[in-house]
Amino acid sequence: MNTKKNTLQSIMDIGLQLVQERGYNGFSYADIAEAVGIRKASIHYHFPSKQDLVQAVLLQYRKDFMDRLQAVKEQDLDSQGKLTGFFGLYRETLEDNAKLCLCSMMAAELHSFPEEIRAELNLFFRANESWVEDVLAQGQEEGAFNFSISTGEQAKILVAFVQGAQLMTRSLGDIHYFDTLVSSCMSSLK
């Protein structure tokens, strides 16, 4: 039973959660301290500044998300199933207390971050596009998809779409909206 994580990881977990729910400028070290059950000063030991924390969280989030994408790719699914799995990852985020993709949130608050962090964000978006393009290419070979533009263009469109769909669904507060959007989108690719 490993119910007690180490403090550093707990801080990062709560930090991730808070950014996804409230945004970087919407919480403080006091919020993390309370949630983790330590004092504010202890957080500074692990992450001297708030930006150090968010940068570490971003790095881990991207790695974790890439792992999940890889897991979908390795499942025994046809290309349509894999694309549905992709949208499913964004759906899970919404279902989890109406969180937003960390990178969407941070892109909205871009003003608050230095170039170093901005570059990390774009790696995330590009990795998404690349993953989707692979699936689209596979699906086209199988005759599962039918669209008139290149796989690269279509992939970029789908990533932009899912980011916007997540944002609007969260605003509406009804996961059904996301499901309808994704379902329609999948239909439009046939």
d(C-alpha 2, C-alpha 104), whole Å = 32
Q: Which stretch binds a second copy (CB under 8 A): 38-46, 72-80, 133-141, 171-179?
A: 171-179
Q: Which residues bind DNA (CB under 7 A)?
A: 7, 27-31, 38-42, 44-46, 48-51
> 63 is in the binding site of which of a second copy, DNA, none (Cβ under 5 to 8 A by kind)?
none
> Could you tell me the smallest distance in angstroms from the CB atom of residue 1 to a second copy?
33
Asked if 181 is part of the footprint of a second copy (rule: CB under 8 A), the reply reads yes
Chain centre distance of CA 87 = 11
3-state secondary structure of 98: coil
How would DSSP label each residue in 135-169? HHHHHHHHT----SS-HHHHHHHHHHHHHHHHHHH
Which is nearer to a second copy, 7 or 112 (by Cβ)? 112
> For binding to a second copy (CB under 8 A), which residues are involved?
21-23, 25-26, 98, 100, 103-105, 107-112, 118, 121-122, 125, 147-150, 153-154, 156-157, 159-165, 167-168, 170-173, 180-181, 184-185, 187-188, 190
